A and B are shown apart, each in its own frame.
Chain A
Amino acid sequence: MVRDITLGQYFPGESWVHRLDPRTKIIVSLTYIVALFILHTFIGFAFATVVLIAAIAISKVPPKFILRGLKPIFLIIIFTFVLNLFMYPGDVLWHLGFLKITEQGLYKAVFLAVRLVLLIIGSSMLTLTTRPISLTDGIESLLKPAAKVGVPAHELAMMMTIALRFIPTLLEETDKIMKAQQARGADFETGNILNRAKNLIPILVPLFISAFRIAQDMAMAMEARCYRGGEHRTRMNAMHYGKSDALVFVLTALFVGLCVLERMYI
């Protein structure tokens, strides 16, 4: 169970989108999110949807895989939809007791739901097509200017790298501890929620202890390999912007331009 977990929600592939510089993808996704807040009509959203579908088609990530990512937030979408549907003042279309649906409310509810879905799919395209480890490198490099004013860019990136590295290790450790406890009669499967939560304590305590022990070993091993923070450090795979990144930036600028025009003239 532990051996085949996927880290993050990366969908392995070699598409044109996958091969873009991680920094490009981070900047573009952020821009896309901002653009979604510039747009204010359904025509605008239709345009943004077409752009997103084109990006998905190029990335060759199966739509099923993307929709699966929507599942956990489905409840939130429904919740905002219902809230807007019933709570917005305006011309009443339909009412039952104190519940009423207004024309403006219906519009607003659909509008926000569409924005939310585009937002989530748009940002998940970044994590779907970028290895977590490249994502960390990208973040480190983008934060470099901020390092001058005291943002610990390298340290943050190193923490994320190590966290990613240890997810499977800690899962394995949890598995081991659970099995050891079960062998001695611990029961994690029955009882009410409160009882089950209580039963987790004998797993969490040893897990924490072993996490601290691992951290100590790890720090020593890193020191032995001459780790001394981000200064003077070089990277084997230095990132560089290529022609496709330039093209993507031009297209993104074009997209933002059109979004601004939509805001001003439609």
Chain B
Amino acid sequence: MNTTENKNIIQINDLVYDYIQDESGTTKRAIDHVSINIERGSFTAVIGQNGSGKSTLAKCMNALLLPTEGTVIVNGYDTKDEDHLWDVRQSAGMVFQNPDNQIVSSIVEDDVAFGPENLGIDPQEIRKRVDSALESVQMGKYKKKAPHMLSGGQKQRIAIAGVVAMKPQCIIFDEPTAMLDPKGRKDILRIIHELHGEGITAILITHFMEEAAQADRIIIMNRGKAVMDGSPREVFRSRSELAALSLDVPLAVELRHALNAKGLDLSEEIVTEEELVEAVCRYR
């Protein structure tokens, strides 16, 4: 493993992905020459409209889809290399949008054990991992319950625990909050931050700007291309470009602009609600 591979958990080099659109075999380009490196321990948000290729990109990082052209290297393994397919999937776990469609068993703890069981881990070790994974998403007391009795947010937490129990170095969240109520969304986002705090590389695919604003880095996808890439501050500074992609900036940024237009002098650095509140309170 060379140094760049050590630094970057995921390296995407000139990735192209075409999918077959209909029976006659016409293809449509979902990802168009994208090159991205994801640093170990980072928190990256990927935003884009429906059909921008963000979900396809996520599936390429987990070898669920294989590149048409270019390469995707996960934790030093090429996703095209079948011998290391399971290493790729164990290194980069994935949480999907619909919590209902990713839970396998009718008992919570059995579901969390599903991943580790597939990896052929020792039963006692599985038990340990399941208990600690459920604890890490604050669902320990539900371990004997049936998933269909739980709320959407709770089910999504079980799905996250199922991935955490496989001890991945990186977790890709593919719009995990899209189907949840505000309370569930907040819980899931908090858990993603906690997991990131514990050293897991987080990649959050989302279309909520507020969620993206909390990441270290934002990548904006449009028509299969990565059109913007930078810290939330850098990205939200270019408000007109975002508008051209029909994406909104977070409310805090919008408000800061409106206030500055009225003659206030608030810093360009402000992107989250907390920062705005802080700045306005200190403003004189």
Contact = CB atoms under 8 A, between A and B. Distances in A.
Given A223-B64, A225-B114, A236-B110, A3 B126 contact: no
B4 interface: no
B123 A238 contact: yes
B126 A236 contact: yes
Interface string B95-131: 0101011111111011001111111111100110010
Consensus secondary structure, chain B interface:
helix
A7 B110 CA distance: 16
A254 to B, nearest CB: 34
A234 B125 CA distance: 11
B200 to A, nearest CB: 16
Interface stretch (B37-45, B86-94, B184-192): B86-94
Interface residues of A, number: 30
Contact of B121 (A132, A221, A234, A238): A234
A7 B109 CA distance: 18
Interface string A76-88: 0000000000000
A227 B118 contact: yes
Interface string B57-93: 0010010100000000000000000000010011001
A223 B86 CA distance: 9
A234 B102 contact: no
Contacts of A172: 148
Contacts of B104: 161-162, 165, 218, 221-222, 225
B127 A236 contact: yes
A54 to B, nearest CB: 30
Contacts of A225: 89, 93, 104, 114-115, 118, 162-163, 166
A228 B130 CA distance: 20
A171 to B, nearest CB: 9
A224 B123 contact: no
A226 B130 contact: no
Among the interface residues A132, A162, A218, A236, which one has the most CB atoms of the partner chain B within 10 A? A236
A220 interface: yes
B123 A237 contact: yes
A237 B162 CA distance: 16
Interface residues of B, number: 41
A222 B166 CA distance: 13
B111 to A, nearest CB: 8
Interface string A154-181: 0000000110110011001000000000
A228 B117 contact: no
Among the interface residues B89, B106, B107, which one has the most CB atoms of the partner chain A within 10 A? B106
Interface string A203-225: 00000000000100110111111
A226 to B, nearest CB: 4
Contact of B106 (A133, A221, A235): A133
A68 interface: no
Interface in A225-243: 225-228, 232-238
26 contacts: A132-B106, A161-B106, A164-B106, A168-B146, A172-B148, A217-B98, A217-B101, A218-B101, A221-B94, A221-B101, A224-B62, A224-B89, A225-B93, A225-B162, A226-B115, A232-B120, A234-B122, A234-B123, A235-B113, A236-B110, A236-B113, A236-B116, A236-B117, A236-B126, A236-B130, A237-B123
Interface of B: 59, 62, 64, 86, 89-90, 93-94, 96, 98, 100-107, 109-110, 113-123, 126-127, 130, 146-149, 162-163, 166
In the A-B complex, the 7 residue pairs with the closest CB atoms: A221-B102, A217-B101, A168-B148, A236-B113, A225-B115, A236-B126, A226-B118
Given A225-B162, A226-B115, A228-B86, 11 more contacts: A165-B103, A214-B100, A214-B101, A218-B101, A218-B102, A225-B118, A225-B166, A234-B116, A236-B109, A236-B123, A237-B123
